C-alpha cells in the first residue's frame, strides 16, 4: 500500500455517563498494539468513496473504517442461479431476480415529478420498472429490445405489481466477484440510495475493499484454537460472507464470524472479571455480627433453600477481601428483599454502613417497613429510627423527605451515625456522602441507568463498597451472560412454600359483566383486587384519560360505600400516591385502580385478583411482573387478561403463553425470541456492551455458551494472555475494549 493510512478510532456508542475510575491496563501498553492495522483505515480512502460518501456511510450505517465496512454483512442473499418468472411474482416477496426484455420505456409527468417507466416482458408476463431518480442516465442506458437480468423487490402500484429502482445488468455480465453465486443484500437507507449507493454499488465497494485488504487481514484467533473450534480462517470467512460460492461456505463463514464476535465479547468480559478479582480490594467483613444472628433466628419462617444458598454466596464474597459485584436474579415473590436486608445487616455488624436503593418511593417505603419488621426482635438499644441517639441509626430518604429531615440524614450519613438507609434516587444526589459505605444494594436494577448506578460506587473515598444488584426481570440466560458476563450471578430459583398457582384467564369485552360479578364475589369473601391500565409513554394525556374513564367505569360498577376504590397513577404527588397505596395495602380499599406504576415489588398478600385491561398492550415480562402481585397469600388467586375481541396474532401468542405458564424464565426466553433482545435491552435501560453484528442472542444461545466456555479455558490456561500463541487475542481484545462498556463498574 502506498496510500497513507488515516486512522480513525471509533467512539464507543455506549459512552454513557462519566468515565469511571480506570485502572492501568497491561494489554494497552503492549508493543504489538502500536502496529497499524489496515482495517483501521478511514473509509473515505477507499477508491470510489471519498469524503462525501464517507460522511453518508458513517451517518447512515455507522461505517467509518475499512473494518466497519468489511464487518457490514449482507442480511440476505439472492441466489444468482434462481431466475423467477414474472407471472410468479408477488408483492410480499423479498428481492428477486428476473430475466426480461424491454418492450417500451417512457418518461411520465412534469420535470420535478417525472418518472421513467420501463416495461419489460418475459415468456410469462410483463412488468413495469419505475425510476424516480437518475432518469436521464437510466433512460440513456436502457435500450428497447434488449434483455436484462433485473434484480429488485416486487411492490404494488394501482393494483399492479411493479419494481421501483431495480438494478439491471446485461445477462452476459462478467462473472461475479470471487466466484460467488449469490448476491448479498446489504442494509441500506433511502438517503444512501438517493446518493447512488445502491446495493450493487455497495457490493462493488466491498469487493474492492476486500481486494485491497485481503493479503493484510490478520488472523485474530490462534491457529490451534481455530482448529479446535472448527473455524475457517478469518480471510476466507470474510470473503465467503460477502461473496459466497455456495451454501456450505456461507455457513462456515457465518459460524466463524458469529463465534469470533461472541468469543471476544466473552473474553473481554471474563478478563475484566479476572482483573477485578485480582485487582480490586474489597472491604473485609469477617463475621456476620450479632444483629444478623438475632434477626435471622427470629424470622417467623424458614428461609427457602435458594435464599440460604444466596446468602451464603454473599457472605463468602463479603468476607473474602475482594469486592463483591453480584447480580441477584429471582422471580417476583421469591423473597429478594429479605436477602437484601440480611446482607445489609452483615455490613452493619462489621461496623460499616449499608444502603438499599429502590426505583420508586412506594417500594422504598415498603422496604423500609420490611426492615423495621425484621429489626423488631433486636433490643431498643440496638437501633433507632429517630434522633434519640441510641444504637445504630436507620433512615428513609426519598424525594419527599422534608428539608430538615434531609439535613439530619445527610449529617447522620457523614458522621456514620446512620448505618442503614433505604431510599430512592435521592440517595445518589451529590450532597449524600457516606462515612464508610460497606454495601450498596440496588433493587430492580434495570430501572436505573448505568450512570446513575455508577454514582453509588463513588460515594465513599476509600475502598469501594460491595455491590448487590437485584432484578425480578428474569433475564434470559444468554442475555445475562452477555450483559453481566463479568458479574457473579446468584439465582433464587425457588418460591417460598405455600404459594398457590395463579389461574390466568383471557377474557374479552363480552365477559366483562361476568368478570365484575367474579370480583364482587372475591370482595365479599374479604379479598382485594388490582385493576391495571396500560401506560403508553407517547401520550401521558391519553393514558390519563384512559385511566380516568376506567376509574369511572369501575366506581360505577362498584359503588361506594359498599365498595371502596383507590387510585394510583403517575400524575399524583408522591404523598397522594403513598396514601392511596397504603390504604390498599392496609385493607382500607377493596379495589386498586392503577397504571403500571405498581408493576414492581408491591406486596399485598390479601389481594387475589389482578385484572389487566388492554392486556395486548403489555409485553410478556411486564404481564408477568403484574401477575406476580397476586398469589402471595394462602388464597386462590386469579389473573384476568382483558383484551379487545380482535387482537394481532402476536398479542394472542403472548396472552396464550401467559395462560399456559407461570415460569418467569420460560416467559423471558419466549419474549426475547418474539421481540428480539434489542427490545428487552431497551426496557432494561441498560444496553448490550457491544452491538452484535451477526450473532443473535435469541438464536445463537448454544454458540454463545460454547464461546464462553472456550474463552474461560483460554483464560484459565493463560490469565494475562501472555503466551506468544495468544498475541492475536491480546491484540484483538485491546481493540475490542475500546468499544465495550466496562460492566465491571456497572454499579
Ligand atoms: P421479591 O423477590 O419479589 O422482591 P419479596 O422480597 O417482596 O419478593 O417477598 C415476597 C413475600 O414473600 C414477602 O411477603 C416476604 O415476606 C415473603 N417471604 C420471603 N421469604 C420467605 C420465606 N422464606 N418463607 C415465606 N415467606 C417469605
Ligand atoms: Mg422486590
The pLDDT score that the predictor gives to residue 387 is 63
Q: Is the CB of 338 under 6 A from ligand 1?
A: yes
Is residue 336 in contact with ligand 1, taking CB distance under 6 Å? Answer: yes
* Ligand 1 centre distance from Cα of residue 429 (Å): 30
* DSSP reduced 3-state for 598: helix
Q: Is 16 a residue whose pLDDT tops 50?
A: no
Number of H helices, E strands in the chain: 24, 23
Q: Can you give the pLDDT at residue 741?
A: 46
Give mean pLDDT, residues 198-219: 92
Query: Does ligand 1 have an atom closer than 6 angstroms to the CB of 301?
Result: yes
Distance 471 CA to ligand 2 centre (A): 8
Residue 335 CB–ligand 1 contact under 6 Å:
yes
Q: Residue 738 has what pLDDT?
A: 58
- Cα of 336 to ligand 2 centre, how many Å? 6
Express each pLDDT in 136-164 by its tens digit.
Answer: 888 888 999 999 989 888 998 888 899 99
Verify whether ligand 1 is closer than 6 Å to residue 363 (CB atom). no
**Continuous H helices in 389-469:** 403-415, 450-457
The rounded distance, in Å, linking the Cα atoms of 452 and 295 is 32
Query: Taking the mean position of all CA atoms in its chain, how far away is CA 488?
Result: 18
- pLDDT higher than threshold 70 for residue 514: yes
C-alpha span between 116 and 127 (Å, rounded): 13
Grade residue 418 by pLDDT with cuts at 50, 70 and 90. very high
User: Would you place residue 679 in the very low, low, confident or very high pLDDT band (cuts 50, 70, 90)?
Assistant: low
Work out which ligand 1 atom sits closest to the CA atom of 303. Answer: 23
User: Whose alpha carbon is nearest atom 12 of ligand 1?
Assistant: 335
Which one has a higher pLDDT value, 271 or 73? 73
Query: C-alpha distances in angstroms, 163 versus 155, 169, 369?
Result: 6, 15, 66
Kindly give the distance from the C-alpha atom of residue 358 to the centroid of ligand 2, in angstroms, as a whole number.
9
Q: Which ligand is nearest to the CA of 336?
A: 1
Atom of ligand 1 nearest to the CA of 492: 2
Place 29 in a pLDDT band, splitting at 50, 70 and 90: very low
Q: What is the mean pLDDT of the chain?
A: 83
Ligand 2 mean position, distance from CA 443 (Å): 7
What pLDDT, on a 0 to 100 scale, did the predictor assign at position 429?
84
Give the separation between CA 266 and CA 269, rounded to whole angstroms.
Answer: 5
Pocket test for ligand 1, best of 298, 304, 335, 605 (most atoms within 8 A of CB): 335
CA of 259 from ligand 2 middle (Å) equals 37
Say yes or no: CB of residue 632 within 6 Å of ligand 1.
yes
- β-strands 167-169, 160-164: how paired? unpaired
Could you tell me the distance, in angstroms and rounded to a whole number, from the CA of residue 587 to the centre of ligand 1? 19
How far apart CA 49 and CA 212 sit, in angstroms, is: 14
CA of 495 to the centre of ligand 1 (A): 8
333 lines ligand 1 (CB under 6 A): yes
Beta carbons of 205 and 269 less than 8 angstroms apart = no
Range with top average pLDDT, 6-15, 104-113, 562-571: 562-571
Does residue 493's CB lie within 6 angstroms of at least one atom of ligand 1? no
pLDDT tops 50 at residue 21: no
What pLDDT does residue 319 have?
93
Q: Residues 171, 177, 181, CA angle at the centre, nearest 5°? A: 65
Atom 20, ligand 1: which residue's CA is nearest? 335
pLDDT of residue 35: 61
Taking the C-alpha atoms of residue 167 and residue 161, their distance in angstroms, rounded to an integer, is: 16
Whether ligand 1 lies within 6 angstroms of the CB of 339 is answered as: no
**Confidence bin at 485 (pLDDT 50/70/90):** low
Q: Which ligand 1 atom minimizes the distance to the CA of 332? A: 3
Q: Which residues surround ligand 2, an ion (CB under 5 A)?
A: 601
Q: Which residue has the higher pLDDT, 456 or 115?
A: 115
Q: Which of 263-267, 361-365, 667-671 has the lowest mean pLDDT?
A: 667-671
Q: What is the pLDDT of residue 236?
A: 95
Residue 394 has pLDDT above 60, yes or no: yes
Which atom of ligand 1 approaches the CA of 304 most closely? 23
pLDDT of residue 169: 81
Q: Is the CB of 385 under 6 A from ligand 1?
A: no
In the predicted structure, residue 173 carries a pLDDT above the cut 80: no
What's the rounded Cα separation, in Å, for the pair 562 and 556?
11
Weakest-pLDDT range from 105-119, 304-318, 343-357, 480-494: 480-494
Whether 117 and 157 have beta carbons less than 8 Å apart is answered as no
So what's the pLDDT on residue 628? Answer: 87
Predicted confidence at residue 141, as pLDDT, reads 86
The CA 303 to ligand 1 mean position distance, Å, reads 9
CA–centroid distance, residue 601 to ligand 1 (Å): 10
Least confident of 35-39, 448-452, 673-677: 448-452
- Rounded Cα–Cα distance for residues 468 and 365 (Å): 19
C-alpha 351 – ligand 2 centre gap (Å): 26
366 lines ligand 1 (CB under 6 A): no
- pLDDT, tens only, 637-659: 999 999 988 888 889 999 999 99
Residue 7 CB-half CA count within 13 A: 7
Determine if the pTM surpasses 0.85.
no
Asked whether 367 lines ligand 1 (CB < 6 A), one says no
Are 629 and 551 in contact, with CB atoms under 8 Å apart? no
| Closest residue to atom 24 of ligand 1, CA basis | 496
**Atom number, ligand 1, closest to the C-alpha of residue 302:** 23
Query: What does the pLDDT read at residue 60?
Result: 92
Choosing from 310, 328, 337 the residue with most ligand 1 atoms within 8 A of its CB, the one to mutate for a pocket test is 337
Average pLDDT over residues 379-389: 70
How high is the pLDDT of residue 447? Answer: 53
- Residue of minimum CA distance from atom 26 in ligand 1: 496
**Please, what's the b/e burial string for 382-396 (b: 16 or more CB within 10 A of its CB; e: otherwise)?**
bbbbeeeeebbbbbb
Strands, sheet with 466-471, edge to edge from the N-terminal-most edge strand: 383-384, 392-397, 418-423, 353-357, 437-442, 466-471, 325-330, 488-492
What span, in angstroms and rounded, lies between the C-alpha atoms of 629 and 627? Answer: 5
Indicate if ligand 1 lies below 6 Å from the C-beta of 332.
Answer: yes
Best of 338, 473, 502 for a ligand 1 pocket test (most atoms within 8 Å of beta carbon): 338
Determine if the peptide bond prior to 561 is cis (ω within 30°).
Answer: yes
Long-range contacts of 250-255 (CB under 8 A, 24+ apart): 250/77, 250/182, 254/694, 255/230, 255/231, 255/703
How far, in Å, from the CA of 452 to the mean position of ligand 2? 19
Q: Which residue has the cell 395463579?
A: 502
pLDDT at 546: 76
Residue 194, pLDDT > 90, answer: no
pLDDT (tens digit per residue) in 688-729:
556 678 887 767 878 988 998 999 999 999 988 999 999 999
Please give the residue that has the higher pLDDT: either 395 or 575.
395
Q: 250 versus 599: which is more confidently predicted?
A: 250
Identify the band that residue 18 occupies on the pLDDT scale cut at 50, 70 and 90. Answer: very low
Grid cell locating 671:
419474549
- Euclidean distance between CA atoms 66 and 40, whole angstroms: 6
Nearest CA to ligand 1 atom 19: 335
Diameter over CA atoms, the chain = 100
Element housing 48 (H / E): none
Radius of gyration of the chain (CA): 31
- 232-283 residue pLDDT tens: 999 999 999 999 998 899 999 999 999 999 999 889 888 877 776 666 678 9
Q: Which atom of ligand 1 is nearest to the CA of 443?
A: 4
565-568 and 607-612: which strand pairing? Answer: unpaired
Residue 4 binned pLDDT confidence (cut-offs 50, 70, 90): very low
Q: How confident is the model at residue 222 (pLDDT cuts 50, 70, 90)?
A: very high
Selected residue with higher pLDDT from 26 and 504: 504
Amino acid at each position: 500500500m502506498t496510500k497513507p493510512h488515516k486512522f480513525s478510532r471509533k467512539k464507543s456508542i455506549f459512552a454513557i455517563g462519566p468515565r469511571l475510575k480506570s485502572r492501568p491496563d497491561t494489554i494497552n501498553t503492549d508493543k504489538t498494539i502500536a502496529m497499524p492495522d489496515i482495517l483501521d483505515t478511514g473509509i473515505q480512502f477507499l477508491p470510489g468513496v471519498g469524503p462525501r460518501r464517507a460522511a453518508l456511510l458513517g451517518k447512515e450505517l455507522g461505517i467509518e473504517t475499512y473494518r466497519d465496512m468489511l464487518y457490514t454483512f449482507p442480511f440476505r442473499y439472492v441466489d444468482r442461479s434462481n431466475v423467477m418468472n414474472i407471472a410468479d411474482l408477488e408483492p410480499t416477496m423479498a428481492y428477486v431476480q428476473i430475466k426480461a426484455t424491454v418492450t417500451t420505456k417512457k418518461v411520465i409527468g412534469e420535470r420535478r415529478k417525472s418518472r421513467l417507466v420501463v416495461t419489460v416482458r418475459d415468456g410469462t408476463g410483463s412488468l413495469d420498472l419505475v425510476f424516480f431518480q437518475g432518469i436521464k442516465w437510466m433512460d440513456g442506458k436502457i435500450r428497447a429490445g434488449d434483455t436484462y437480468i433485473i434484480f429488485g423487490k416486487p411492490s404494488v402500484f394501482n393494483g399492479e405489481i411493479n419494481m421501483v429502482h431495480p438494478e439491471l445488468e446485461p445477462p452476459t455480465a462478467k462473472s461475479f466477484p470471487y466466484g460467488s453465486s449469490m448476491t448479498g443484500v446489504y442494509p441500506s437507507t433511502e438517503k444512501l440510495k438517493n446518493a447512488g449507493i445502491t446495493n450493487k454499488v455497495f457490493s462493488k465497494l466491498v469487493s474492492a475493499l476486500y481486494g485491497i485488504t485481503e493479503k493484510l487481514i490478520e488472523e485474530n484467533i490462534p491457529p490451534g484454537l481455530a482448529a479446535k473450534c472448527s473455524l475457517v480462517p478469518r480471510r476466507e470467512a470474510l470473503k465467503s460472507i460477502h461473496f459466497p460460492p455456495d451454501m456450505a461456505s456461507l455457513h462456515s463463514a457465518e459460524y466463524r464470524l458469529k463465534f469470533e464476535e461472541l468469543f471476544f465479547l466473552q473474553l473481554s468480559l471474563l478478563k475484566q472479571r479476572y482483573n477485578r478479582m485480582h485487582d480490586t480490594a474489597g472491604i473485609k467483613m469477617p463475621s456476620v455480627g450479632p444483629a444478623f444472628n438475632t434477626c435471622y433466628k427470629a424470622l417467623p419462617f424458614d428461609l427457602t433453600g435458594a435464599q440460604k444458598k444466596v446468602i451464603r454466596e454473599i457472605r463468602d464474597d463479603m468476607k473474602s477481601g475482594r469486592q463483591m459485584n453480584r447480580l441477584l436474579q429471582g422471580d417476583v415473590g421469591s423473597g429478594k428483599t429479605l436477602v437484601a436486608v440480611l446482607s445489609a445487616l452483615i455490613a452493619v455488624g462489621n461496623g460499616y454502613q449499608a444502603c438499599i436503593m429502590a426505583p420508586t418511593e412506594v417500594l422504598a417505603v415498603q422496604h423500609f417497613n420490611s426492615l423495621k419488621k425484621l429489626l423488631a426482635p433486636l433490643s431498643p438499644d440496638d437501633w433507632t429510627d429517630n434522633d434519640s441517639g441510641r444504637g445504630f441509626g436507620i433512615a428513609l430518604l426519598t424525594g419527599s423527605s422534608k428539608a430538615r429531615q434531609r439535613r439530619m440524614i445527610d449529617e447522620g450519613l457523614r458522621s456514620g451515625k446512620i448505618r442503614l438507609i433505604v431510599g430512592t434516587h435521592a440517595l445518589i444526589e451529590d450532597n449524600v456522602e457516606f462515612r464508610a459505605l460497606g454495601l450498596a444494594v440496588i433493587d430492580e436494577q434495570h430501572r436505573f441507568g448505568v450512570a446513575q448506578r455508577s454514582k453509588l460506587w463513588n460515594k465513599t473515598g476509600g475502598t469501594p463498597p460491595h455491590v448487590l444488584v437485584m432484578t425480578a426481570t428474569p433475564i434470559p440466560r444468554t442475555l445475562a451472560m452477555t450483559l453481566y458476563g463479568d458479574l457473579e450471578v446468584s439465582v433464587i430459583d425457588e418460591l417460598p412454600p405455600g404459594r398457590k398457582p395463579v389461574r390466568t384467564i383471557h377474557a374479552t369485552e363480552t365477559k366483562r359483566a361476568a368478570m365484575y360479578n367474579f370480583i364482587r364475589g372475591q370482595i365479599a369473601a374479604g379479598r382485594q383486587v388490582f385493576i391495571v391500565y396500560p401506560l403508553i409513554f407517547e401520550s401521558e394525556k391519553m393514558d390519563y384519560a384512559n385511566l380516568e374513564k376506567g376509574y369511572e367505569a369501575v366506581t360505577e360498577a362498584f359503588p361506594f360505600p359498599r365498595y371502596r376504590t383507590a387510585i394510583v397513577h403517575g400524575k399524583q404527588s408522591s404523598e397522594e400516591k403513598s396514601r392511596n397505596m397504603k390504604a390498599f395495602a392496609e385493607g382500607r380499599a377493596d379495589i386498586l385502580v392503577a397504571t403500571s406504576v405498581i408493576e414492581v415489588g408491591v406486596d399485598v398478600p390479601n389481594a387475589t385478583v389482578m385484572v389487566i385491561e388492554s392486556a395486548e398492550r403489555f409485553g410478556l415480562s411486564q404481564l408477568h411482573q403484574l401477575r406476580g402481585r397476586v398469589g402471595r397469600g394462602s388464597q386462590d388467586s386469579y389473573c384476568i387478561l382483558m383484551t379487545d375481541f380482535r387482537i394481532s396474532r402476536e398479542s394472542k401468542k403472548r396472552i396464550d403463553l401467559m395462560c399456559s405458564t407461570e415460569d418467569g424464565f420460560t416467559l423471558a426466553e419466549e419474549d426475547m425470541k418474539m421481540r428480539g433482545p434489542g427490545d428487552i435491552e431497551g426496557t432494561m435501560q441498560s444496553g448490550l456492551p457491544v452491538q452484535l453484528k451477526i450473532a443473535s442472542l435469541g438464536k445463537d444461545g448454544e454458540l454463545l455458551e460454547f464461546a464462553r466456555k472456550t474463552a474461560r479455558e483460554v483464560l484459565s490456561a493463560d490469565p494475562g494472555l501472555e503466551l506468544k500463541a495468544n498475541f492475536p487475542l491480546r491484540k484483538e481484545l485491546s481493540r475490542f475494549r475500546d468499544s465495550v462498556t466496562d460492566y465491571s463498574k456497572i454499579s
